[in-house]
Chain A
Amino acid sequence: MKNEKEKLSFEDAIEKLEGIIAKLEEGDLSLDQSLEEFQKGIELYRHCSNVLVDVDGKIKVILDNGADTPEEVDFEEDL
């Protein structure tokens, strides 16, 4: 279940979140159900939020030095 959630893309997660909100807005759910949906919604929010900050915006450049595995170094504009 956790693994599944980690793989969930931002797009899918935010769509699910919006679905949950719509369901809650309809107001047909029991208290237990709405609490459960709310909990799910919060988890999806956290997931999305994590996805957005997960990557760190690094720029690397591949150095093909003839080795089997090319090296990756920081990119500098004047390279």
Chain B
Amino acid sequence: MKLKALKVCEVNQYIKRILVSDPILYNINVEGEISNFKHHYNGHMYFTLKDESSKIRCVMFNGDNRNIDFSPKEGMKVIITGYISVYERDGSYQLYAKKIKQKGVGDLYAAFEKLKKRLEAEGMFDNVFKKKLPYLPKKIGVVTSSTGAAIKDIITVIQRRFSSVNIVIYPVHVQGEKAPMEIVEALRYFNTRDDIDLIITGRGGGSIEELWAFNDEEVARTIFKLKIPIISAVGHETDFTIADFVADLRAPTPSAAGELATPILHELKSRLEDNLIRLEFVMKNSLKDKENSLKMLRNNLKTYSPENKLKASKERLDVLYKDIRRVMKSVQDNSNNKLENLIGRLDALSPLSTLNRGYSIPLDQESKVIKSVKRVKKDDIVDILLKDGKITGKIISINESHE
């Protein structure tokens, strides 16, 4: 019997029917590594799942991939739940993924939660142990990969804000087996130095496995024991690691760590300069105030000064002096009048006027007036004063008159 030739589409339809009715292929879990991942603009995801020796094409439709809580990436190990069917157009079978989850992630989350609970119970996350960050660090130690975006972000932000701070980078692997030990070593090394006043450790974003070094218990304990304050900056805002909890401060991103670590230099400078201006202003004002009160005091002092009193006294003295002068003058004038009067009277009584009237005055040799005949004897020499001169004579006779 000659078989009737089938059309290609009929063959594919037939295979498809067999495959989809298979009780195993209808609902299976497949584990493997993602490669050739494409997220098509129509929302569907196309990729290949592979292991060491084999691969299978996969598709995950828009409606199914909408609720994935991570972004599938090249090389990611995943477990896919779905069914096998045929893409009739290409005649190829593929795995139609209904669910996808990261392999081992569940274990990692469990380990993370367990360690977190244990360390929290030990008090390692307590606020009392959090050290205060220096306001103005001089030297910042950075523990991260020297090639990643994290270090560039940290340096860029710090230099923009506070360009004069020194940065020392201790390059470490931030993922992989060696990473935790290297991070621990780097942290311990910085802790032995006394010139580092702040440490930043962290890395850029990644999957939970990639961030895993920062969930290492030894790393956590080393961070806890540091004498230097430390900022942890691991991944993105939504990523939390044990290091974040135990560090003195968690920065949501490496850039944010740079911001938290340093103040903005020009703001500090202007704050400082403002203060200088205020200080000088206030001092100047204070001096001016003091000067003004001094001036006032000086004026007061002038008003009540002895000089002023002296002046007043002098004026009073002047008045008194004038008074006394006036009084004196009138007294003197009075006296003068009296004197003239007296002199007139005296004049009238003067012997000279007697002489004028023709009398003469005998004087003895001692120029005393001879008022009585009893004063002279015969032959005594006597002077006789006349109106116009003196004559000298000798007593020839004495005749005493008797009344």
Please give the residue numbers on chain A whose beta carbons come within 8 Å of chain B beta carbons, in ascending order. Answer: 9-11, 14, 17-18, 20-21, 24-25, 27, 29, 31, 34, 38, 41-42, 45, 48-49, 51-62, 64, 70, 72, 75, 77, 79
Q: Does B312 contact A (CB under 8 A)?
A: no
Q: A62 is contacted by which of B135, B165, B171, B272 (Cβ under 8 Å)? A: B171
A-B CB contacts (within 8 Å), total count: 98
- The reply to whether A29 and B286 form a contact with Cβ atoms under 8 Å apart is yes
- The reply to whether A41 and B279 form a contact with Cβ atoms under 8 Å apart is yes
A22 CA / B373 CA spacing, docked (Å):
119
Q: A48 is contacted by which of B138, B139, B272 (Cβ under 8 Å)? A: B272
The size bracket of the interface on B is 35 or more
A-B pairs, 4 with minimum CB distance: A11-B135, A10-B136, A24-B282, A61-B169
Q: A57 is contacted by which of B164, B170, B287 (Cβ under 8 Å)? A: B164
- The reply to whether A59 and B169 form a contact with Cβ atoms under 8 Å apart is yes
- B265 contacts which chain A residues (CB < 8 A)? 52
- B164 contacts which chain A residues (CB < 8 A)? 52-57
- The reply to whether B136 and A31 form a contact with Cβ atoms under 8 Å apart is no
- A27 contacts which chain B residues (CB < 8 A)? 286, 289
- B279 contacts which chain A residues (CB < 8 A)? 17, 20-21, 24, 38, 41-42, 45
Q: A interface, by DSSP: helix, strand, loop or mixed?
A: helix
17 extra A-B contacts, CB within 8 A, seeds A10-B135, A38-B283, A62-B189: A17-B279, A21-B275, A24-B286, A27-B289, A31-B287, A34-B286, A45-B276, A55-B138, A56-B164, A56-B166, A57-B159, A58-B167, A60-B166, A60-B167, A64-B170, A77-B152, A79-B171
A75 CA / B54 CA spacing, docked (Å):
45
Q: Does B378 contact A (CB under 8 A)?
A: no
22 A–B contacts, CB within 8 A, in A order: A10-B136, A11-B135, A21-B279, A21-B282, A42-B279, A48-B272, A52-B269, A53-B164, A54-B138, A54-B164, A55-B139, A55-B166, A59-B167, A61-B146, A61-B169, A62-B169, A62-B189, A64-B185, A70-B189, A72-B168, A75-B146, A75-B169
- B135 contacts which chain A residues (CB < 8 A)? 9-11
A52 CA / B266 CA spacing, docked (Å):
10
